[in-house]
Amino acid sequence: MSINVNGKAYEVPSALMDKSLALWLREDLLLTGTKIGCDIGVCGSCTVLVDNKALRSCKLKVKDAIGKNIITIEGMTQADGSLHPIQQAFVDCGAIQCGFCTPGMVLSTYALLLEKPNPTRAEARQAIKGNLCRCTGYQQIIDAIMSAAETMRLSEKTINKE
């Protein structure tokens, strides 16, 4: 009965099986980068990756995640604190204002780029449709997704050459 979160396995006591996954991450694992904006699965602030799919952790129970691999925003950052190319793109493109949607946006972007390394702007818009942002008007977030995709494709090429 364990869940892998950001590469680390956590044993889950049976008493917690019906707890919301978002609350378990926040309260039990102290991974507070996962935000709760609506608690009914429509704002996307609590987005995490479950086996590489972007899902709403407020709509999931702990039991739904048993045996699965979860990535939260904390898992995107390297151990030395350096940023993932998606995070760097969000910083550089001005995609961050209040920052409350940012973790969910970054994870929805990651799920998109895992599946489609070369998305169009329209596909980028579609990928974050479930993530509300009240500050940015989404434009610089789309810029960041496109920029991150380019950086990741470039580094992929470099790796292949090597």
Q: CA of 70: how far to CAs of 8, 25, 56, 144, in Å?
A: 9, 10, 12, 23
Q: How far is the CB of 118 from other proteins (least distance, A)?
A: 19
Does 24 help bind other proteins (rule: CB under 8 A)? no
| Residue whose entry in the numeric block shows the structure tokens 């001005």 | 94
Q: Which of 51, 56, 11 is nearest to 29 (CA)?
A: 11
Interface residues for other proteins in 130-149 (CB under 8 A)?
Answer: 130-142
Q: How far is the CB of 19 from other proteins (least distance, A)?
A: 10
Closer residue to other proteins in complex, CB, 65/104 = 104
Q: Which of 9, 15, 40, 159 binds other proteins (CB under 8 A)?
A: 40
Binding residues for other proteins, total number by CB under 8 A: 55
Q: Which of 62, 69, 75 is nearest to 18 (CA)?
A: 62
Does 16 help bind other proteins (rule: CB under 8 A)? no
> In DSSP terms, which residues pair with 71 in a beta bridge?
49
Does 63 help bind other proteins (rule: CB under 8 A)? no
> What does 81-140 look like in DSSP terms, one character per residue?
SPPPHHHHHHHHTT--SS-SSHHHHHHHHHHHHHH-SS--HHHHHHHTTTS--SSSTTHH
Does 29 help bind other proteins (rule: CB under 8 A)? no
Q: Which of 33, 110, 119, 149 binds other proteins (CB under 8 A)?
A: 33
> Is residue 146 classed as helix, strand or coil in its secondary structure?
helix
For other proteins, the binding residues (CB under 8 A) are 26, 31-40, 42-43, 45, 72-74, 76-77, 81, 83, 87, 90-103, 106, 121, 125-126, 128-142
